[in-house]
Each structure stands twice: as C-alpha cells, then as structure tokens.
Chains A and B, each alone.
Chain A
C-alpha cells in the first residue's frame, strides 16, 4: 500500500504527461503481481467496491471527531478522502508497511458488509496520512489524478516490446489483476486473446486564425462544432460471433456503463467519431441539459427517458473490419453518409455539412447558427469546424487539417450572487459562480447565468477569498455573496448567445458564459441592467 500511495501522491503533483508516464512505468516495473494489476485496474476505473460508500466513511469519522468541526473541515478541503485522511488521528507506532494493495482488495472481498466499517477503521489506524488518503481514494473510487486509461496503457508499453495498439487490442478481453497481460508484455507468456473492439486515438483540431483565411475555401468542408462530449462508438463481432460494443471518451476511457441506451443500440461493425448530445423530440439540447444527465449518480430508466442520448457522427474510422483512416475526409464522408442512411433507426445522426463559398459565408453561419442550422440545433452549436477534403484521419493534433472557429462572444457586466465549490483540483475553492444584473424597474438583481471558468488560477484564489470574506448565508456547498449597490464583486461575463427562458426569473438564459474579466474597479451599482440583455434578444 505504501508503494501505491507514493505513486498516487507523486502522480497528483506531476503536471507533465511524460513525468506521469515515467512514474507509472517505474511502478509497473518494480511492483510484483498481483499488486500492480490491482493498481492498474484502480487507475483505469475498472475496480469498484460496491459496498464501500462515502456515507460509511463519513459515519466512521464522526464517531471520532466533532461533527461540526468535521463539516467545516470538509467544506474547506472539499474532498472527502483527503479530509478524513488529514483529520484521522492514529498512533504512528502502529503504522504497518506490510499492508499491500492485494490485502485490501482481498480483505474487502472476504469481509461481510456489516463488518466492513471496523475493517476500514483498523486499516486507517495502521496507515500513515498518505496511506490513508490513498486507501480512501481507492475505496471511494475517486482517484481523479489525471491518468486516463490510455496513458496507463502507454505506460504498459514501456515495459516491453508490445505497442500501445497491441495492448489496446487485448485490453478489453482481459480482466484485473491482468497477470496474463503483464506476463505477455514482459515476454514471459503468450499473447492473450484480442478484444473485438478497441479505441482509436482521435484526430484533434487547431483554433482558426485570421491568417488562415488565405487558404482556398474550395479545399475545405465545414460543419457545426457541437457543444457536447467527443466520443468514439466502436462495435464488432468477435471470432465466436459474439457482439461487442463500447463507447469511449476522447481519452480512451470506457464510458459504456454511463450510456447503456446508446451502447445497446450499436448494431453495427464500425468505429465512429462523433459528439454525444441529448436529443428530445428531434431537438438537440444544450450542453446544460447534457450536464444534468452527467450529474446523475446512477443511470436509471427515468434518466434515460428524461435525457435520451444521441450521437451526432462526423467521421468513420473503420467499417466491417476495414481501416478507413488512410482514406481522404471526402471518401470517408461518402461512406459515413451511406452508413447513417443504413442505420437511421439507431440514436445516431449525421452531422450536416454547411454549404459555403467564401470564408465570409462561414463567418455569417458561425455568428447566427439559428438561421443556418435551424432552430432544432441552435442550442448545441458553439461554432464551426473546418476540415480539409483531402485529409486522412490522423491521431493527435496534426497541423493543416482540421480547425475550430468559435463564435464571437457578447459581454455584460454582472454581479456575483452565489458561489459554489468546484470539483477535482478546484474542490477546495469556490469556483462556480451565479451572477445577475439589475432589473429595469426595480433595485433588484436577478440571476442570468452561471460560469465556472475564464479566470486564471491567481484570480480564482482572489475570488475565493472574496467569497469567504463576503458570505451572507450558506446553504450546503453554496454561499450567498454580499451584493449591495456599494459592496460586491462585478464580473465582465462573455457569452455566445442568449435565448428566452421561462425557467429563469430573468426570462433569459445565456449560452456558454464565462468570466472574461474581474472588474475590481466597479461597484455593483455600475453593473448592467436586464435591458442590455433583452436588447440582444431583439437583434436575433
């Protein structure tokens, strides 16, 4: 456990990809089976302890610590595992280095549910602070240390002569603790059975710049840039005729479990590149709606019917076992169009091309997608993609093939009303902000949107401090921030567009809002009024 804890600790502080790779490879090289396999499973999200819930950990700690002090500490730290690891008082003399990762996996397996709390408490007593943190991260399944499944497999490739592609091939048929995979990579065993489907690293784009307008428009295709989640849908039959289907994130994490409604409908043999979105009654919903589904802890039938998932496909990488990636975008597009027509009943649709002659046409489309894309997709468009007709499908971010051209933002000066704690490495900061503008007819601020990015790390620290020093009231993780005419914080908020909304008190909802600047120089009384926004509505 000490070795695994040290690995997690060092990964958490290693910002560089190459540094993370080196740490992982060294760990896999130096750690015996089955510990390293359990670690690999934990890092790639393949290990879960279903009876160990955060609520149980919380109950354990409040047995030993004042409940209010624990709550205040948790509020400050923002991460349950870390709060408990820091607050837990153990006697260092009892610390025991002999507790291995396998002891923990097997120990949990062999223990009845009712006896688990006592077992965890015993382990927490025996571990040092770092070990406690690693144990709690492990059992609550919240490692979040910036290691994707693909990165972990790349580290495996460093152990021997197998390529990442080879490892991807066998990966999905293997199971923890992967002793056969390790043996094969290190040249001590046969190649394990291949999986039927695997992840293909995606092709990424560059930001479009003014100088790119010197390129000849006829060499390029354009399509909408969707504001969803980039995914890869892969399905195939194995040698025994069994069907396999997977949904991957753009980093190669297997997210099939979160979207059973999609994966069950993958009745094809192909690898597709596209955007995961929510579609209701033919209308593609905004990212906010998708976010609501992502926020649900478990995927129930109700979640699925309320937030039906849909993939807007824009590329095809292979079909019926044939690798299409060396073909041009134009050739792949033809194949994709045929594919989409043949699978019209699946929750999959073709991302339409935007017809254009000159770059100005695209600029117009980009500025007003409602007009060009039609109302049904307005919410989910955040710009346009420009793709060279002649480009093959290349992994990574090759220059000169794909570009993204985002919409120009509008701005408004708004007042911070509520702040909520963030997630991941921002979990100890108030980093999600609800802001508002003044009503036209009354001295009252109405919320118009929420934003959680656009500021620098230094600015986040300053805003967080402001929030903590100007809290009016608290509800759970949310703080109401002082917002009087002379006291409060003004943000210049940039956003891509505006729509009428009956759900918001203000009657409008912003698309893609972010903090453009913090106006320390302005008082709330200087912020904009609602009419500044409603004027924009009339423009469109």
Chain B
C-alpha cells in the first residue's frame, strides 16, 4: 500500500482514510485524534475525540465537560483497532498527556508526533522514538540558530536575579498549559520552596496537573496575596498579562518570559522582556535532526514552522521530505494560550 492511503493532508488537518479520522483538525469533524491539549491542536466541537486521559481532562477544563459528542480515552502504549488500522499513542514529551499517534496498516507505519521535545521535563512522560515509514514532525524551531540551553541554567539565571534584587517581584510570562507547570517544577528542583504566585488564568490547569500527580509545592493565587508578600516573590502569568494593568500590583517588577523565542534578542526586546529565559517545549535544531534519524523513517512530512530549513536538511541527510504548510497551528500557541 502507499503511504498516502494511510495518511493524507486535507484542509481540516491530517486525515487517515481507513480509520476515517483526522489528527488535530482545525475544523469540527466526526472523528478526531488529538495529540495534546494546546488550543491550536485541541479544538472543541468534534463529534468523537480520541486522546490520552490527561488530554481529555485538559480539554474538559478548557472547554467544559461537553467539549465533544463522545470522548474516548486511550492510555500510552495501548492498541486500538479501527477498521484495518491499529492506533497506538506514545509519549511526545511536550506537555502533560501529549502523545504521538502511531498508525499501522498492512505492515506500513506512520507516526504523527504533534508537538514534541527531547529535553527532560519533570511534568510529563519523556518522548519515545517510534520506528516508522513516515514520520510527521513539527518545525517550530527548525533553524540552526535554535539550540536550547538546559532549562536548569535558565532557572538559575532567574534565581540569581532574585538574589540580586530581593525587593523586586519577578514576573514570569509562561503559557498556561505546560510551560507554567514545567517552570514551577524546575524552580522546585532547583531548591526554591517559597510560595509561587499564579495569575488567575493559570490556576485551573495548574490544579489539574496536581490532581494528575505532578507535585508543584506551595502555589497560591496572586489575587489573594497582599502587596508586601509580592516583594521579592516569583509570580507566573500568561505572556500577554505582563504588559497589562494586572501587573501593576507588583512592586517594581522584573519581567521575564520563558519561551524558545527568547533565544532571539530582537524577539525578546520587541516584547519588552528584561529577563529572557530560553525554556522551550519544542525540540531544538539538533534534537529535530536526532529524532528524525532515530525513527529511521525514509520519508518525513513537516506540518508547521520553519519547514523549508528542515526539508533542506532532510534532503542532505538522504531523507525524503515534504513541507505541508498546514495552517492553523500557532507556534508555541502564543495567541490561543494567552487568551485561555
């Protein structure tokens, strides 16, 4: 059989004809397989949704219990057959519950990785490479300028700044799903055990992480803290809140932003960030290459991001590559998560 019989791009998203299912569709469909809970991948309004139990829980928190007609949970590593196709979800290491979708039919396997990273993350299961004939990858940071430093060194930078300015609040912009909880867990790993304050938009998902067994220590809503407690404190908020009146309650705040984009000075300065933290939930350039080679796939499809650069590298490495330029996927979910 041909690969395109198993998987094919459509305007709604990637489509698997034998299972009659779309992966991360951007429009409402009958059957959707959702890789992870970021708003650009997980949308409300599908008739039937298949995802990990964690992803389904995230969607319920975001969109309400009735986010779809029927929700079907599939744990990592369990196999499900729809028609002739076997579907298995494997960890993608991106955020809690994030999964790669392995589709196998007649000895041919396609792996759709959604968003993924290879750096260690205390809040989610690590990425597992899938041996496959077709690997579908993102390319958010697919340029040789993107080499993410270890997240621990970025956290250490912020803690040093806090020691230097013990009376100023440190306000860290972080996406509501995944990044915020990972940053909190990294602070805890670094031995910081004081209360960490949360913007209201981060509370529900952080509580969900804790219910799923991710220990985050003493986290408190900013709303309930008085101004004196916020001096010298670390607080997390959606990136868009840093420049709003909400931020005025903090005494002389230093604004930080945890994102892979912070690697580029112009991007950090353009956002008015004073303390850029290069912490990304997407694979960097070396990790994208390593992952493609580890899957052993002779063909790679690139969904979104810097597809031209990654396709160029694939060709030089003897791997067939196709840039799909799918529309509707936000790099690092900037708008969607900021709004959540």
Give A residues with C-beta under 8 Å from B.
Answer: 12-15, 65-66, 68-70, 72-73, 76-79, 82-83, 86-87, 133, 424-429, 457-458, 460-462, 465, 469
Of B270, B274, B325, B334, which one neighbours A457 at CB under 8 angstroms?
Answer: B270
Contact of A425 among B240, B269, B330 (CB under 8 A): B269
Q: Judge whether B220 is part of the interface by a CB distance below 8 angstroms.
A: no
Known: A13-B273, A13-B275. A77 touches B334 (CB 8 A): no
A73-B145 in contact given A457-B270, A457-B271 (Cβ < 8 Å): yes
* CB atoms of A87 and B240 under 8 A apart: no
Of A70, A72, A73, A426, the contact of B266 (CB 8 Å cutoff): A426
**Chain B residues, Cβ within 8 Å of A429:** 266, 270
Kindly identify which residue among A13, A77, A425, A427 contacts B145, using a CB–CB cutoff of 8 Å.
A77
Select one of A66, A72, A79 contacting B308, CB under 8 A.
A72
Specify the chain A residue showing the minimal Cβ separation from B338: A458
Assembly CA distance A15 to B274 (angstroms): 8
Interface string of B309-331 (1 = CB under 8 A from A): 10011001000000001010011
Q: A13-B274, A469-B327 are in contact. Are A87 and B265 (CB under 8 A)?
A: no
Q: Could you tell me the dominant secondary structure of chain A's interface residues? A: helix
B218 to chain A, nearest CB (A): 30
- Can you list 21 residue pairs at the A/B interface with Cβ under 8 Å? A12-B265, A13-B268, A13-B269, A13-B273, A13-B276, A66-B144, A66-B316, A69-B143, A69-B313, A70-B144, A73-B143, A76-B143, A77-B266, A86-B146, A86-B147, A424-B266, A425-B266, A426-B266, A428-B270, A457-B270, A457-B271
B188 at the interface (CB under 8 A from A): no
List 7 tightest A-B contacts by C-beta distance, closest first: A86-B145, A428-B266, A425-B269, A72-B309, A73-B143, A73-B145, A87-B144
**Least CB separation from B335: chain A residue:** A462
Residues of B within 8 A of A426 (CB): 266, 270
Which residue in A15, A68, A424 is a CB contact (below 8 Å) of B312? Answer: A68
Q: Is A82 a contact of B144 with CB atoms below 8 Å?
A: no
CA distance A462 to B274 in the complex (A): 22
Within 8 Å CB of A78, what residues of B?
A: 266
Quick check: is B162 within 8 A (CB to CB) of the other chain? no
Q: CA of A78 to CA of B270 in the docked complex: distance in angstroms?
A: 13
Task: Check B143–A15 contact: CB distance below 8 A.
Answer: no
Assembly CA distance A143 to B334 (angstroms): 30
Residues of chain B contacted by A469 (CB below 8 angstroms): 325, 327
Residues of the B chain whose Cβ atoms lie less than 8 Å from the Cβ of A425: 266, 269-270
Bound form: Cα–Cα A268–B320 in Å = 72
Residue B306 at the chain A interface, CB threshold 8 Å: yes
A14 to B265, CA, bound (A): 12
Within 8 Å of chain A (Cβ to Cβ): is B160?
no
Residues of B within 8 A of A66 (CB): 144, 312-313, 316
Q: Does B267 reach chain A (CB closer than 8 Å)?
A: yes
CA distance A458 to B241 in the complex (A): 12
Other 15 A-B pairs with CB < 8 A, given A68-B309, A79-B265, A460-B270? A12-B269, A13-B269, A13-B274, A15-B274, A68-B312, A69-B313, A72-B308, A72-B309, A73-B143, A77-B264, A79-B266, A87-B144, A426-B266, A428-B270, A461-B270
Q: B18 interface residue, CB < 8 Å from A? A: no
Instruction: Indicate if B272 sits at the interface (CB-CB under 8 A).
Output: yes
Least CB distance from A464 to B in Å reads 10
A-side contacts of B199, CB under 8 Å? none
In the bound complex, how far is the Cα of B303 from the Cα of A469, in angstroms? 12
What distance in Å separates the Cβ of B147 from its nearest Cβ neighbour in chain A? 8
A66 to B: closest C-beta gap in Å: 7
Q: Are A82 and B266 in contact (CB under 8 A)?
A: yes
Q: Looking at the assembled complex, report how far the CB atom of A84 sits from the nearest CB atom of chain B, in whole angstroms.
A: 9
Task: Tell me if B62 is interfacial: C-beta within 8 Å of chain A.
Answer: no
- The answer to whether A14 touches B274, judged by C-beta atoms less than 8 angstroms apart, is yes
Chain B CB count within 10 A is highest, among A70, A78, A427, for A427
A466 to chain B, nearest CB (A): 11
Assuming the contacts A87-B144, A460-B270, asked whether A82 and B306 have C-beta atoms less than 8 A apart, the reply is no
Given that A13-B274, A428-B264, A461-B334 are contacting pairs, would A76 and B269 also be in contact in the complex, using a CB cutoff of 8 Å?
no
Q: Which residues of B contact A65 (CB under 8 A)?
A: 144
Across the two chains, which residue of chain A brings its CB closest to B309? A72
Residues of A near B263 (CB, < 8 A) are: 86
A476–B240 Cα distance when bound, in Å, is 32
A87 and B269 within 8 A (CB): no
Known: A69-B312, A87-B144, A458-B240. A82 touches B265 (CB 8 A): yes
- A73 contacts which chain B residues (CB < 8 A)? 143-145, 309
Shortest CB–CB separation between residue A387 and chain B, in angstroms?
Answer: 34
Residues on the A chain within 8 Å of B274, using CB: 13-15
Query: Is A76 in contact with B240, judged by CB distance below 8 angstroms?
Result: no
A77: chain B residues within 8 A (beta carbon):
145, 264, 266
Chain A residues with CB under 8 Å of B313's CB are 66, 69
Which B291-313 residues have a C-beta within 8 angstroms of A? 306, 308-309, 312-313
B89 to A: closest C-beta gap in Å: 28
Interface string of B242-281 (1 = CB under 8 A from A): 0000000000000000000001111111111111100000
Of chain B, the residue at the smallest CB distance from A470 is: B327
Q: Of all chain B residues, which has the CB nearest A427?
A: B266
Residues of B within 8 A of A70 (CB): 144
| Contact status B266-A15, CB under 8 Å | no
Q: How far is the CB of B311 from chain A (nearest CB, A)?
A: 10
Chain A residues positioned under 8 Å from B145 (CB to CB)? 73, 76-77, 83, 86-87
> B309 to chain A: which residues have CB within 8 Å?
68-69, 72-73
Which residues of A have CB within 8 Å of B308?
A: 72
Tell me the smallest distance from the CB of A89 to a CB of chain B, in Å: 9
Most A CB contacts (10 A, CB to CB) among B264, B325, B334 go to: B264
Most buried by B among A13, A65, A73, A133: A13
Residue among B270, B275, B306 with the most chain A CB within 10 A? Answer: B270
Give the nearest-CB partner of B145 in chain A.
Answer: A86
Chain A residues, CB < 8 A from B325: 469
- CB-CB under 8 A from B268, the residues of chain A are 13
- How many whole Å from A80's CB to the nearest CB in chain B? 12
Report Cα–Cα, A65/B330, bound state, in Å: 29
Cα–Cα distance between A77 and B273 once the two chains are bound (Å): 17
Task: Determine how close the nearest CB of chain B comes to the CB of A380; give it in whole angstroms.
Answer: 31
Smallest beta-carbon distance A343→chain B, Å: 43
Min Cβ gap A458→B in Å is: 7
Question: Closest CB-CB distance, A168 to chain B, in whole Å?
Answer: 29
Identify the closest chain B residue to A70 (Cβ): B144
